[in-house]
Amino acid sequence: MKVYETNEIKNVALIGSKGSGKTTLAEAMLYECGVIKRRGTIDGGNTVCDYFPVEKEYGYSVFSTVCHAEFLNKKLNVIDCPGGDDFVGSAITALNVTDTGVLLIDAQYGVEVGTQNIFRTTAKVKKPVIFAINQLDSDKVDFDNVIQQMKDIFGNKIVLIQYPINPGTEFNAMIDVLLMKKYSWGPDGGVPTITEIPEEELDKAKELNKILIEAAAENDETLMEKFFDQGVLTEDEMREGIRKGLASRSILPVFCVSALKDMGVRRMMEFLGNVVPFTTDMPMPVNKQGEEVPADPAGPTSLYVFKTSVEPHIGEVSYFKVMSGTLKAGEDLTNMRTGNKERLAQIFAVCGQIRTQVDELKAGDIGATVKMKDVSTGDTLNAKNCEYEFDFIKYPAPKYQRAIKPVNEADAEKLNEILNRMHQEDPTWLVEQSKELKQTIVSGQGEFHLRTLKWRIENNEKIQINFLEPRIPYRETITKASRADYRHKKQSGGAGQFGEVHLIIEPYTEGMPEPEVYRFNNQEYRMSIRDKQEIPLEWGGKLVVYNCIVGGAIDARFIPAIVKGLMDRMEQGPLTGSYARDVRVCIYDGKMHPVDSNEISFRLAGRNAFSEAFRNANPKILEPVYDVEVLVPSDKMGDVMSDLQGRRAIIMGMESESGFEKITARVPLKEMSSYSTALSSITGGRSSFSMKFASYELVPSDIQEKLLKAYAEENHED
């Protein structure tokens, strides 16, 4: 295989909603380039891109797939991305390492919520977008309506390169207004017949051509002057203007294809090869040091590992982009995370499962290697004297959580290893060993996301697992001051145990005055502060402890033991065993024994005195509340609102956004457990949502009673 220079490489991500035809388009592109001799199908389970068993089982893409093809003396690296919101992490990764997004729209359904979500991602990463309206051979197509919808949502940047003459089941022809030609196909698609535009289409084609010329001219002052002087541009000048418009996202070109019938695919690929920006035309990536790194094949060699997968019969495969320099097979590079050297004995240009061994890859190219010692997704590998390190991919917060547990406890350690490995394959699968909840929590983008994880563990790894409802990370606090004392005394022959602690607790707030006087049952307690400890709690809030002991009632050496006892109860609150927060404690009296007093005695005395005082301080349970944004079609607005209100949501606002309605609400985490599934059911999969932690709020009294009762029953059983 030829070694392609940086200015001969185009990197493209195929993105779009689930079912828009990305994998089928990738198959047609590979067929057109001669990479494959026969096009596979989703139903047949024999496509180049969906080759993992789970993808064949479910009939849709789960992972992004890297492919390459040689076309028009250029190398096209194409990454086919999953379309479901649950697998958005792969699309985000692909957009960060490619230079252009081809955003497919199903001509039957037009702009869907998933289309808007992924378009917003392209805006965040500032990548050019080409729209491809696919499935024009379907019977429900209304092309003009789809274009109007796109203009309403994406604005006047939408510019047609092509339009179909006969969309619908008989679709086989379109007009290209860039080349001003008619393209038509036989029943099997493939190579088109190119003819002059028929008379009845000429006026429409000329009008669209004029709009395209104006859009191209707007991106270059020289072209603009020529357009004003002559009213026309040459084909090459239009391409240059469009290329600049793409790079600045001021043009959103629209192509027409039927990927299944291979109609319009080759023409779109010609545009990709001739017009879309090269890596060198795009803004340079910035490393962790804040430096821009040019894609210079003569620069220091640096790779960014953007994907890791474990593949049948091979093991671990690491996919990378050459950020700088020229990578040669057999080269030793340093992993910036570990400091260890890694030898890339073999490097490959990849196309799904097909791997072509190459001798070198230039800056801007995408490749893979196998059997690295200790390389993870997100690692940077550098040649000697190169200190680049990259961390530019940002993933969305998870939306769906489940506790995971092996059916056979003996598989627990192996399961943890598998989960950590799967996180490397898909960084949006998050794994946490929660000390607080005493559960292993897996988080993802939705129910299907975690269902896929479960399928792979059970079918590929042969470990049976259960998904459980995750416990909610409640917090406990108090709302008034309270006093308690506790004597711990134990005698069992020889030295005994003795410790007595008197303390006062109250709610803590930042900036409150120092304690002076308390009154309980008509008795006054004056505090004489000798020492103060402020303990920031890792789960939020503080524990503030005052040593107010006078007269040596408790030796100062026992105060740390009492504080440990207090922390025991802060880590396992007296009400439900949840973390406690925002409590101020004054230790003001106690007793000790010259022989039997020791640290464990005062730790237990402090713990039990705190528990008693806590229960008498009008304790409350706090629950995590999240800010939730839901994007929903207007016809489903009422149903979604009703469902949210049934989840104790407080609606914060509603507004229209690009043809959809956006609802913002604050919802307790407890009520969001299966929201992704419910929302999909209510709206037929046409909605999406995001959620972000907002604050801890008091739970309603009836729910607090249920929680207390449940905790009491659980501990009684224990």
Q: What tens digit of pLDDT does each residue of 565-600 get?
A: 999 999 999 899 999 999 999 999 999 998 899 999
Our separate counts of H helices and E strands in the chain read 16, 38
C-alpha 717: how far from chain center: 40
| 92: CB partners within 8 A, 6+ apart | 121, 125, 393, 394, 395, 396
Whole-model pTM?
0.84
**Range list of H helices, 335-494:** 412-425, 447-459
What is the rounded distance in angstroms from the CA atom of residue 617 to the CA atom of residue 477?
9
pLDDT at 234: 81
What's the pLDDT at 718? 44
Per-residue confidence (pLDDT) for residue 579, from 0 to 100: 95
Q: What is the pLDDT of residue 280?
A: 84
Mean pLDDT (the chain, rounded): 91
Contact 321, 363 (CB under 8 A): no
- Please give the pLDDT value at position 659: 67
Q: Using one digit for the tens of pLDDT, what is the confidence trace for 594-640?
A: 889 999 999 999 999 999 999 999 999 999 999 999 988 888 899 99
Tens digit of each residue's pLDDT (9 = 90 or more) over 504-514: 999 999 999 99
Highest-confidence range of 196-205, 390-399, 491-500, by mean pLDDT? 196-205
Q: Which domains does the chain have, with CATH numbers?
A: 6-281 (3.40.50.300), 302-382 (2.40.30.10), 400-471 (3.30.70.870), 476-618 (3.30.230.10), 621-703 (3.30.70.240)
How much of the chain exceeds pLDDT 90, in percent? 71
Specify whether the CB–CB gap between 692 and 397 falls below 8 A.
yes
Indicate whether 257 pLDDT > 50. Answer: yes
Confidence check: pLDDT of 658 > 70: no
8 A C-beta contact, residue 48 and residue 38: no
Q: First-to-last CA distance in the chain?
A: 67
Write the CB contacts of 411 (distance below 8 Å, at least 6 apart in sequence).
463
Q: Strand order in 354-358's β-sheet?
A: 341-344, 331-335, 380-382, 302-311, 315-324, 366-370, 347-351, 354-358
pLDDT of residue 526: 95
Residues 6+ away with beta carbon under 8 Å from 219: 241, 242, 244, 245, 248, 250, 251
**461: which residues sit within 8 A by CB, 6+ positions away?**
414, 418
Contact 118, 15 (CB under 8 A): yes
Q: Which structure tokens are listed for 6?
A: 């940086």
Mean predicted confidence (pLDDT) in 311-321: 86
CA distance 717 to 713: 6
Question: Could you tell me the CA-to-CA distances from 259 to 106, 319, 452, 486 in Å, in that order?
Answer: 11, 27, 27, 77
At 373, the pLDDT band (50, 70, 90 cuts) reads confident
**Position 606: which residue type?**
G
Q: Which amino acid is located at 398 in the chain? A: P
3-state secondary structure 275-292: CCCCHHHCCCCECCCCCE
Cα–chain-centroid distance for residue 48?
25
Residue 501 to residue 545: CA distance in whole angstroms: 13
Q: Which two tokens stand for residue 292?
A: 């821009």
Q: With beta carbons less than 8 A apart as the criterion, state whether 352 and 49 touch.
A: yes
Chain Cα centroid distance, residue 458 = 24
- Residue 493's pLDDT is 66
Q: Which helix (H) or strand (E) holds 244?
A: helix 235-247
Cα–chain center distance at 110: 25
67 contacts 61 by C-beta, under 8 angstroms: no
Q: What is the pLDDT of residues 259-290, one digit of tens each?
A: 999 999 999 999 999 888 888 888 899 999 99
